[in-house]
Structure 1
């Protein structure tokens, strides 16, 4: 049988964001089944086989198009005709490059991620839709984030942008199989466009070896000047508003106030806490340029609230490495050292870091965002809940009721010193493997691509 050649396309690959991680999982599965896989993404990607400058959504004219295309950004430096011209110019450049790549590679099928659904790069949707039609490419289009899920994309600037989005975001085509990652998105896609979709939530390789301390990852706490007897709270997400990092900070602050209840105790994982521990919040994810203001607010809050917090994205990458003799850790290396994981996202299409914590067998503190309540909660995990209520403060940050924070902290303390906690964590692992193991994705790809 001829080896199939598959393209996987996104704005950016090779990072630790959720979409990059999902792409890497697909690549591994396809290569396992003998496919040759090529990654097509923006020029700032790590590991892309083909880099297209115009696919970057936060550089050049692309953010100018976005900010002129939606009323939210209050930007009007482009007249309607000029906005249309710039969109078409970017689209044409992308299509020409895609055509050249297809001439070279002759792909049998293509997997497209978020390009037909994400509001920050309007001009990218049209060339991919035309590319698929022109070359009759069987396409699996996975929509991780729809533009209508973000306030900034609620109101379009003009009729051209409105009609463009109706036609291409997402497009209807006999060559395209649409994938949503949760039931809320599936219902809304059907309601808005009468497009049917298959739900394929985030998945994880539960058959890999457990993450453990080894000769490479034994040192990060020491390098970060953290005592081995401190309580480590891991926030593994990127730093952006919808991730609710401030809720993790309120949790950490409150846990620190209750630290006397953990002094000189032994945790579920065998760690012995000394008589003077600190609760350390590790922020492992990076911040996009567009979210720099949010990062500044988070740092100001940490200072004002006297929270022990460390931003460690500079030593975290998708894979282990050495850079100028300095160790660069994978995200999995940091999970090994966490005592508890926070996942206080206000909105997620699904939630990679949730399933990572389940695999790592760590207790997890969750804000019950809509998709969690709709799709994930019913799977039956043992979690520590922050509830589902929020208040938006004057500075734009969010706050959960202090009663909910207190309840979560008290439950966390009970769990952290419960010698039987590992039974709950093993139950979580079994549930995660059942509903989100690699086999779910593998069976789907084998069937749809005829592998």
Structure 2
């Protein structure tokens, strides 16, 4: 039976992992005749199927004030408690409006009950679910206990209640095995593991009239080697290791392209990277101000590209992350049939690498073996082609839409059997 699925989060907009994976879930739901609707503080979904509530956005001034009083502190004031309750009560009312307007029969809460970037929204969702008993899937991308910034706070009561909650009508979904075990250990909750996926049956976009000039826009010559770092510029991405790789390759044709902005963690890390690149004599070029989730012209008449426009021009992808909840950039590189240098972060080493992917892999630092393997990938077209074709076939087996479809159908069937 077709259902009206209500997706709920603080943001469904742009190229963050939550927004991207949610769109894939909705696409697969649609193939099973379920219709998706959207609730968030910031949205880029169609207006006729969504409700945008600015106060639900984690960057809303009211929520930012609350966060400033919570993290890194051990006591909260009565004013903070009152502001949390007041905002939660308002947001709960908008959830009722959302469900009533679109006749929602199932909810999918995307990360809003996982990481406490918006505590009042989490409280609102929990109270709403306690009052309505709507069957809910809770999709967890990264838990608060995985982030250092959320370790000290005066809200143990809210963390226990809502991040994540224990509700009988709720099913929990995680994206890696370690999260599954931690959720069971910390909260006593069982969960279903559904990895991030891509549609490997849909051919990737290539070079066309719009993106054919990217190398020119980057100031690269035809002989230059484009190494793409397709992540935000934040410390956990380990981009300093990509700079080390370029230094040890010692090839002036190699240029490292940073495709994303600095995120929400400030400019300090970006500035340190650029200083390091200058000290090491490495050519690093920032392109994050020209890459967004949709093609357009900016206010200066310059083209704005998407990440899909950049990948076809890349000779190698660098992915030296220190930590990832899963690793979307890994799947994207494989999907575009590009070789990728990976740091063996814990989820990669445990969940992805055992599948048999062939990649130049570093284990915390760039050693001689990694440099030699990257050099062979760049210099030997036949070796490179065999590698990317092998990886594509594996990813199509383990991380494509049929895997997601099976997981979602299982979750929906569980609701039916529980009724």
Normalised by the length of structure 2, the TM-score is 0.92
* Whole-angstrom CA distance in 2 between matches of 1:47 and 1:241: 30
What secondary structure does 1:317 align onto? Answer: coil
Q: Name the residue aligned to 1:347.
A: 323
Aligned-pair CA distance for 1:169: 0.9
Matches within 5 A, 1:186-335: 186-255=180-249, 257=250, 259=251, 277-323=252-298, 325-335=301-311
Distance 1:434 1:302, change over 3 A: same
1:52 lines up with 2:27 in the alignment: no
Aligned residues: 409
Say which of 125, 129, 153 aligns to 1:156.
153
Residue deviations 1:14-66 (CA, integer Å, cap 9, x gap): 211222111111122222333322222223x4336222222222341323323
Residues 134-178 of structure 1, C-alpha deviations (whole Å, 9 max, x = no match): 233221111100000011212323xxx112211111111122110
1:431 aligns with 2:394: yes
**Which of 361, 364, 377 matches 2:337?**
361
Q: Secondary structure at the match of 1:288?
A: coil
**Take 1:431 and 1:228, find their aligned partners in 2: how far apart are those partners?**
31
Partner deviation per Cα, 1:211-270 (whole Å, 9 max, x = no partner)? 321222211111221112101001111111211122222222322x1x2xxxxxxxxxxx
| TM-score, length of structure 1 as denominator length | 0.86
Q: Which runs of 5+ in 2 are unaligned?
A: none
Shift of 1:290: 3.2
- What is the alpha-carbon distance in structure 1 between the residues aligned to residue 192 and residue 151 of structure 2? 25
1:96 aligns with 2:93: yes
Matches within 5 A, 1:51-130: 51-71=52-72, 79-130=76-127
On the 8 A contact 1:16/1:285 being kept in 2, the answer is: no
SS for the counterpart of 1:291 is: coil
Identify the range of structure 1 (370-379 vs 26-35) with the bigger mean alpha-carbon deviation.
26-35
The structure 1 segments of at least 4 consecutive aligned residues displaced by more than 6 Å after TM superposition are none
3-state SS of the aligned residue for 1:61?
Answer: helix
Match of 2:362 in 1: 386
The change in CA–CA distance for 1:293 and 1:57 in structure 2 (over 3 A counts) is farther
> Which residue does 2:32 correspond to in 1?
33
Alpha-carbon contact 1:18-1:351 (below 8 Å) kept: no
Give the drift of 1:436.
Answer: 0.5
Across the aligned residues of Structure 1 and Structure 2, the Cα RMSD in angstroms comes to: 2.0
Q: 2 CA distance for matches of 1:440 and 1:377?
A: 18
1:309-357 CA distance string (max 9 Å, x none): 2222222222333445432222111010000001111111101001111
Tell me if structure 1 keeps the 8 A contact 2:3–2:34: yes
